[in-house]
A and B are shown apart, each in its own frame.
Chain A
Amino acid sequence: MYREIIHINFTSFMASLEALQDNSLNRIPFVIASVNTPRIFILDPSRLAFQEGIRRGMTLSKARFICPDIKVLPPNPSLYQQAGQKIFKLASTYSPLVENCGSGNIFLDITGTRTLFGISIDTAARLKLEYQNHFSLDPTTALASNKLVSKVATRILNPAGFASIPPGDEANFLKPQKVDYLPGVGSSTKARLYLLGIRYIGELASLNQHQASHALGNSASGLLNRARGIDPSPVNNSLVRQPSIVFSKLLNNAHDDPTLIKAHLRLISIKAGFELRKYGLGARKFKLNLLYSDHKSTSRQKTVHCNIKADDKIFKIGCHLFEKALNRRISIKKITLSLSRLQQSKSQYSLFKNHNHQLKLQSTLDHLRNKYGIIAVLPASTTILPNLNNQNDYPA
């Protein structure tokens, strides 16, 4: 039995939401960009701006060169977060398996829902209609038997459209598409593939394992499978399985001050630790992702041998990862800390008198935060953060 996976992609998500707030924006090209940074990068171009040739990650000066009268709007993170939640909620009415990948990207696994909703292609089209009717947004929608192929299909269709790839024809569909559209092919892999004369996914798929390993190293096996349309990865629903705890902070004005970013990281660590302990969990794997204002990102991860659940230890690992990840001289737009390999955390009782004052302190802090809110007690290093009183500024 094959799976039925829908990929919903709201192109120019931020810009579309802004245009919904102000109808006049529909008639002019505009971009979302943080203007309070030394080098200004486009976070999201509107559809008209996209048609003009303006792309995400482009510098504002280049965008102005292409389109001198372009309007620039500052980002409105709370608007995008709220819309993202609503979009996820609507998709959840069609399937219990919905994965929110952020920036208006959603995967749904609708396998086995035919009795409820009818043929899968019609279900995908109806979901698209619901978004058109309820949110006045028109997402690019694709149906395929796995996440990979549905994602490639929406990439080909962008900025708008609908596609359905029959099961069994995944490799056939991918064959004539450019390698650029294959998830996992970044700029360096693409450059390497182009150097080898491989421009289309079919050309990559035709390599044998030996050739691919020689050309691409460790990533060869995964890329080869993807080029052949093989992707067994499930649609991860955090409500069904809690594989990780993820906290992120979208910085209103992109920052390049490490002290301030570490203060954000400290607060994120506190939130993550509080969430962990609430469920009696500890984490063994930590991943920090830095999204730069040009929309490129770097991430570093670390796996430890024992369960970690204390705020200080999480923050210490976070700082270590931050130092390793920070390798570009470009302002940071978003920091994301993911805690995974979660396990029930049962500490071993000491044979002797318990001297673990740190544990006691943590327990007291949790008690206070549970009663008065997460920011009731904070380390002094976080006082430099702006809008600290706004707890909702740090949603999960």
Chain B
Amino acid sequence: MADIKTGTSGYDYLDWVNNFYPQSISRKKFLYYYSNNFSTVELNFTYYRLPQKTQIETFIKNSNPDMDFSIKGHESMTHRPNPATWKTNIQAYIQAVTPLLQSNRLAAVLLQFPYRFHYEKDNRLYLDKLLRELQELPLVVEFRNPHWLNRRTFEGLRQREVGFCITDAPRIKGVPPTIDITTSKLAYIRFHGRNAQNWWDGNASSRFDYLYSQKELSSWISRLKTLVKTAQKIRIYFNNHRKGQAPTNAQMLKNILEKAKITP
């Protein structure tokens, strides 16, 4: 049976107070409280700034030992690679996440590529180079450009044992197709919400303002049943973080999976 864990994308949101965190808890205790409710979390801050080793050690110390972490790749790897600092940044990144790797609490490193990262020869070569540099880490790739979603890419990821990020998002033009496929032992799923109205017109916050219904999440049972056949580990993260909707949905899905006996 696959090891399935459900959590959220980020945990440190002030608008979760009273929705998820009790009023009485200080911000420093958020992670500990979170880790008592969920056994995995996706850290997004690592996209904006390179993580420090001490920072990561603090995460390990301040959370329940059962909890593991998925962390986003730095923007210098995926969005703004700078040839002058690229290699140094990657080495610094690997060094910083080593404590997670050593303590067996690193679920995945998520490399999220923007729409402008087109399916072109130069980009394919770049991706190959990046994956080779990071090969000691458990990697997952999320493509925002739909042209990457083809068999050649899937086979390439399979050969390199790199996971493919499955997404749940509104079914509207311009949003990459949803494709449930496993390319490594790890299946990685991100729920972005289905706010079709605000997806293109809203801001970063209103785009993810969506609460999944029980019916919507229950429909994932069949899809997860297929994924558990090929993946040994499944990590599911809710990115609809506004007003504490992500932890509400993560808990909802946890209950659904327990009822459907998909969890170990």
Contacts and interface: CB of A to CB of B under 8 A. Distances in A.
A161 B147 contact: no
B151 to A, nearest CB: 6
A166 B172 CA distance: 5
Interface string B102-146: 000000000000000001000000000000000000000000001
A121 B219 contact: yes
List 4 A-B pairs, minimum CB-CB distance, nearest first. A129-B222, A168-B173, A122-B219, A125-B219
Contacts of B223: 125, 128, 162
Interface stretch (B46-54, B177-185, B232-240, B243-251): B177-185
B150 interface: yes
A17 to B, nearest CB: 18
Contacts of B179: 153, 156-157, 161-163
Nearest to A128: B222
A162 B229 CA distance: 13
A115 to B, nearest CB: 13
Contacts of A165: 177
Interface in B145-160: 146-152
B81 to A, nearest CB: 22
A163 B149 CA distance: 11
Contact of B146 (A118, A138, A157, A172): A172
B20 to A, nearest CB: 25
Interface residues of A, number: 31
Interface residues of B, number: 30
Interface in A105-128: 118-123, 125-126, 128
B220 A125 contact: yes
A169 B150 contact: no
Given A126-B222, A128-B222, A176-B150, A138 B173 contact: no
Contacts of A156: 150-151, 179
B225 A163 contact: no
A167 interface: yes
B27 interface: no
A165 B146 CA distance: 10
Nearest to B151: A156
A177 B180 contact: no
Given A125-B219, A129-B225, A164 B178 contact: yes
B171 A160 contact: no
A162 B226 contact: yes
Interface string A139-170: 00000000000000100110011111111110
Contacts of B216: 118-119, 122
Contacts of A123: 219
B2 interface: no
22 contacts: A122-B219, A125-B219, A126-B219, A126-B222, A128-B223, A129-B222, A153-B177, A156-B151, A156-B179, A157-B179, A160-B230, A161-B181, A161-B226, A163-B178, A164-B178, A166-B171, A169-B146, A169-B173, A169-B175, A173-B149, A177-B150, A177-B151
A151 to B, nearest CB: 14
Nearest to B178: A164
B119 A176 contact: yes
